[in-house]
Structure 1
Amino acid sequence: MAKTLEQTPILAGVVGHPVSHSLSPIIHTIWAQRAGIDGYYIPIAVPPDYDDFARVMESLRNVGFAGVNVTIPHKEHALRYADIVSDAARQPGAANMLTFSEDGCLAENSDITGFAEAVREKNSAPGTSALVLGAGGAARGVVLALKSLGLTDIRIANRTMERAKDLAGAFDLAVMDWKKKSEAIDNIDLLVNTTSLGMSGQPPLEIDISGLNPAAIVADIVYTPLKTALLEDAESKGHPIVDGLAMLMHQAVPGFQKWFGGHAQVDEALRAALVSELERRAKI
């Protein structure tokens, strides 16, 4: 017997260019299986220009997708395309979630809550001061997450001073000289790398963290490699660390709950599955 409309599988996905590297389909598939939900989360490669992005979004809405996560280079496109924009997406100027409904397309940003929750796992009261390395879109989300955690003394260091000043001006932050970043870590409670430095295939991040407060949290938003040289150094010195996988898992929660309607648990079993996949890919 054919399925009724109410019985059709729930459809969601992730769009980007490229998108084959995304771990999000694994996360959502595991949660759907745990909850016994008939649903599919599909990676969708979309060319980088806005017209292609808008055309694909219209197609997904027409075939009944509940929503999509959005990754590079489409986060600003998602904001432009949406009919309704949440404050969490408007403030950083980027969206990583689009939800489709009869009321229109809603743009949101769960990267902010994702990073905040990853930090809370290590310390629910992480302090008041932070140094953020980088001044791109990811840094904007991290700054907003830090503010939501109650940090009031946030400093920015970026290889291009002009971009650092732009971000600092937008969020009332202090600007530090990139060349003096190792000296700028005194008395901070949280160090966050939002740059690509230290990522597989990229130059290393050169920073001396020996002067860092022993209780300070050190975070890196990349997950290839899962443990960057910065995180390895921090861990060897006894610092609590937050890797990019923690942020990825937590930022996936709002989308799954909104589109699939099930419980989304971030736990060691989920992490183990993702680590196993990363190890498998590293061997290819």
Structure 2
Amino acid sequence: MTAFAEVIGDPIAQSKSPLLHGFWLDRLGLEAEYRRSHVTTAQLADFFQTRRGDPSWRGCNVTLPHKQSVIPLLDRVDPLATAIGAVNTVVSRDGLLIGHNTDAPGFLEPLRPCLAERHLLRTARILGTGGAARAIAHALWEEGFTLIIAGRDVAKAQDIAGAFNPADTHVCTLETFANPIDFDWGEPGDRLDLVVNATSLGMTGQPPLAVDFSNIPPGAILYDAVYAPLETPLLAEARARGHATIDGLSMLIGQGRLAFEHFFGVAAPADPESDALLRARLTA
């Protein structure tokens, strides 16, 4: 029996997870597989019932629209996934189905060098109110950030903010960042500013995210969760203005590393050569 894991969702053809995990399996020489399975909401309960009885099944990544609806079907959900209210990784252990959320720690992976430094103030502007935004908010809150959450629907932004200390959390409309402001930011000083696009705006086939850079502090890092295209209009403008940028593949790879170790019990390769080859495969 060949051990396998998979990704489930509806639709699922667009998922890059098989390329990601397949690369690591080949790189490590492991005799295992990673598959893609189209599972509708109506099929979800039967899917997990069937997989429970398969000793070669190691678990699955979960993508839209199942990250919330999968939770009642599991035997255990780890505290982080419970706090976020979403599961993106299900692991089979000793007959139990255990839910995790690797989006939050995966998002932080490329920020680790910055987070290792000391700052008097850390502020994150999170644009978006979906599942990714919720995971990102939890990740950054645990790292001591004051949060500004912006969405088309302020009520959704308030729902995310409600999980945190109201004194250090603020909400506004997405349009706030599209309008110019007259504000003297001064020098960056001993602070860490982060701006995150957690919407689908800027993705291939979607309009760009409207941001007026008068709203962005000097020295801020621009992080876009979109990875198709790899350089979104937001990142292109940020780079032209001298900001450090992080693209969406960084989050995809970061969350994938954690899921891979859950499934196969070994760490995914993280050396520079492997990372370069992986990025080339994912963007080919």
- Per the TM superposition, whether the score is higher than 0.5 is yes
Corresponding residue number in structure 1 for 2:8:
15
The C-alpha deviation readout for 1:203-252, integer Å capped at 9, x for no partner, is 21111124533321111111011111101111112211111100011101
Say which SS state the counterpart of residue 58 (structure 1) adopts: helix
1:197 aligns with 2:201: yes
Check if 1:216 corresponds to 2:209: no
In the alignment, does 2:59 pair up with 1:55?
no
Give the distance between the partners of 1:43 and 1:266, measured in 2 at CA. 23
* Structure 1 segments (4+ residues) deviating >3 Å: 121-127, 182-188, 266-280
Unaligned runs of 5+ in 1: 1-7
Q: 1:122, 1:240 within 8 Å by CA — same for their partners in 2?
A: no
Paired with 1:41 and 1:82, the residues of 2 have a C-alpha distance of 21
Report the CA distance shift for 1:122/1:241 in structure 2 as closer, same or farther (over 3 A): farther
Aligned-CA RMSD value: 2.2
Alpha carbons 1:116, 1:149 under 8 Å: kept: no
Query: Does residue 170 of the first structure (1) align with residue 163 of the second (2)?
Result: yes
- Return 108-117 or 154-163, whichever deviates more: 154-163
Aligned to 2:129: 135
> Deviation per CA, 1:1-37, whole angstroms, max 9, x where unpaired?
xxxxxxx322111111111221111221222222221
Question: Which residue of the partner structure matches residue 112 of structure 1?
Answer: 104
Which residue pairs with 1:66 in the alignment? Answer: 58
Change (3 A) 1:239 1:156: same
Contact kept? 2:182, 2:214, Cα under 8 Å = no
- Structure 2 gaps of 5+ residues are none
Task: State the secondary structure of the residue aligned to 1:191.
Answer: strand
- 1:1-284 paired onto structure 2 within 5 Å: 8-47=1-40, 49=41, 51-64=42-55, 65-121=57-113, 124-125=116-117, 128-151=122-145, 153-171=146-164, 172=166, 173-182=169-178, 183=181, 189-280=193-284
Q: Which TM-score applies when normalising by structure 1? A: 0.87
Q: Percent identity?
A: 37
Structure 2 vs 1, CA of residues 267 and 217 (structure 1 numbering), >3 Å: closer, same or farther?
farther
SS in 2 for 1:91: helix
> Is this contact kept in 1: 2:19–2:282, CA < 8 A?
no
Deviation of 1:275 (Å): 4.1
Aligned residues: 270
